[in-house]
Structure 1
Amino acid sequence: MRERPGHPTLFDQWDRIAARVAATRDAIEHEKKHGQGNRRHKGKRQAWSIDRQRLAEVQKVIHHRHGGACDTDDGPTYLRAAMPHLLRLYGGGDEGHGKIAGWCAVWLPTMPRADVSGAIEAAFRNDPPPLRADTLAELLNMRNDERTALSLRTIGAVDFTKADRQAERKRRDAAYRLAKRREEGATPRAQSAEQREPWKALNLSRRTYYRRLAAGTLPEAENASGTNSSAIVRSTYNPRRNGATAAGEGVPGPARETSPRQTVGAGGHTPGGKARAVPAGHARALPLPEGGFIEHPELFGSDDAWISLGSALDYAGGLMPPEVARAVRLAQRARAMTQEAVARQIGISRPQLANALQGRFGLSRSAAANLCAWLAAA
């Protein structure tokens, strides 16, 4: 390529581009180092760091205790607390040495220059790590009242441990959130919990509370304070009235009494069985012929057409004998009753009666007494 007089060559152009790129990178690194490139801090303000925070708090302690620079022999103590952060801010070498010495000249003027230079050289060799908040508190003998007055965040207190500070921080946060919720008009959590679970205040279970609420046996104040914001309370639905009961309006009538506990028969529990409140000896049924009833031979294949109830009435519980099961089936047919109706009069569920007739499970003594009373009903 022919070169013209006074015109730069192609290699000169590439050298200029590389120089501009290098200058741009150096400027970016300088801005990042001194905080100019941080989006949160525009202008000349430096970005936050733990080292600047700790150094500022050490300076605040010195100014608070001495009214300015340290004028006592406590200089080595303050220098030990600030030295790790001075190293991380100013670095090593002659430039860092000069900046650290300048900081000591401002804040520790009574400390001899030879001691300052020795401490800086030892720090360059050992590179000490920053002290923990509680360790620094013991070094500076920081009390909690002084720490609170100076609004220190990176220095602990000898009479206020880290666990205590965390608990205090949680308490302040909770108080702040409570005040904010009150300003927004929200219901306090304690009152909201009472509205959601009013049965706890009455020392009742949830089921008992709503049962008495539907029956109208709770006080008027409790009836009026429903758990829903609407005027209609779904929990007080009354199937007999085919609608919902308004808050504060109870259903007339006495409260339902609790059902008796289900007893265990000789053959154990019956799966899925539900106890019914039918006392022993109170079964009601249609009368049977005196002494027994007629069996159809073509249906059961028996030559004896007359069945007596004497042996069936001796049944006292447990697995049901075949003659008792046969008597129950014949009495059911003679009275034209369904198995559900028979079980209801005995006080057991239909699956219980079916399993007992098949010999799978036994009946309890109370259920057997109801069964015999139902067979012997005249």
Structure 2
Amino acid sequence: MHYIRFLRPPKVHNDKNTVQLKAVVTVTTDLGETFFPEDAELIATIRETAHDGEVYLRRKFQWSGGARSLPIILDVSRNDIDWPACLHVGVKVSKGKGPGFLPPVVDAWSGELDPTKGQLDSGWRVERRFTPLNERPVSLIEDAGDSIARHLWDGSQALAQIIDDTISLENTTTPLPLLEYLLVSATYRRLNAIELGCGCGTVGIALAQSIPDCDVLLTDLPEVDSLVAANIARLNPAINSKVTFHALDWEAPLPKGVHSRVHDLIIVSECTYNTDTLQPLVNTLKALITRSPKAIIVVSTKTRHDSEAAFFDLMKEADFIQDGSMRMPLPGVPGSGYADWATDVGIHIFHGKNHRLSLSPRGSDQDVPKAKEAIAAANGRVRKAAAGAEDDAKGTNS
């Protein structure tokens, strides 16, 4: 996968008689190690900030394979733009376009600009928009620029896609039956989840928008607080679902706000790349499982280097039991640099040695099939409501 990023965020420049919107973009991998190697047409549009908002200006720009950056310059002097607006940059054609959270090239949406009120700069955050199978758009903010800090990572996107596929009944068979059981049974039971090292919060937020009565706790170091708060504020939760954030340092004991909770699902996404933090991570998982022995752990990681394998040895030494794994292929052109070479993401399920299921995933009571029927009915209601809202909108505009 590749991501369009703003190396220089959009800014309005008034040069004599010309008013221009200027930005510099790149098309790079999640860690920014390599750049998109093929020629591509990028489409830049100035448009309303709302989803499916009006487009005021559209221009085509040519990305040369292997380039490191591309300037975007739009003349807004003689265009009827209803400010505030934003700049959206995407690819014209995506080969092998993937579903939901896994397009081969991820579009970039700038922050709001409004030169009529002196707001000439969009700021250093960029929005990503995804449409899962449940048709509830997910909006995520990440930092602009070429730093890897507080960015979307491929492993989180892949896990969000697997959860979406499972809840939407797109997977007829799965090598992760324990995860499937937990997700489908959440249609009639409350689901308590915690995400470690959440970054932007992709997985936890996608989960809360897909499952009713879901309580998600996002955790990371304190410096991501404002970014995660911005993404929680954009949340479009399922009925009775909520997301909160709590700072958590793996080197320290569990804070009261984390230790007091009992969890059903522990999410570990793209947290194994730093070998220096593997033992603290496993220690934190051990503390969580001691408090929540029935919880399952889902680990998602795009392999960056061979030393990450130490994580699985540490999990075994800590008496965690692996219960299923799979590889999720990534769409698009793979990178070629350090930490970019992997073409898929590994998804692994663990639980503690005292883990017990109150109901079998394939029990005689047909618990999972009943849950699947409930999901199908809920999805039908969501689609019916969306269609009704669209009809209402058409009637208002007629």
TM-score (norm 2): 0.19
> Which structure shows the higher helix fraction?
1
Which of the pair has more CA radius of gyration? 1
> Which structure shows the higher strand fraction?
2
